[in-house]
Amino acid sequence: MLVLISLAIVGALVAMQSKSEGPTAAAVTQQEAQALVAASAQNFAQVGEALQAAYAESGTYVGAQLPVGSGVTLAQATATSYCLETSASGTLVHENGPGGSPAAGPC
């Protein structure tokens, strides 16, 4: 009987610890999201330069061509703004521009 009580206590302690330190813990999930956004920022920065050059040439972002192989798509474009999307480790990340910051999710 004492062994069963001990096992139950140990099981409860392990379950509580896994919620705060396991792969689904809020802190871990937040750190993963921040890492995806940071990784995407590099791709968006390179594409942003190409978009600014296109804007300087034509006065609009509509119809702008992105560098081949960038892994970034121009999801939305108007005369004065755009939204870029990319997939980082299977998670969709977007950036509204110009001057935006990467954020998880679609445009």
Task: Render 18-62 in DSSP notation, one character per residue.
Answer: HHHHSTTSHHHHHHHHHHHHHHHHHHHHHHHHHHHHHHHHHS-ST
pLDDT at 9: 58
**Sole residue written with tokens 């001057």:** 99
* C-alpha dihedral, 33 to 36 to 39 to 43, nearest 10°: -120
Q: What is the pLDDT of residues 26-71, one digit of tens each?
A: 666 677 767 766 777 888 888 888 899 999 999 999 999 998 888 8
- First and final C-alpha spacing in the chain: 58
pLDDT band (50, 70, 90) for residue 14:
low
pLDDT band (50, 70, 90) for residue 17:
low
Q: For the whole prediction, is pTM greater than 0.85?
A: no
The whole-angstrom separation of Cα 53 and Cα 47 is 10
Whole-number mean pLDDT of the chain?
78
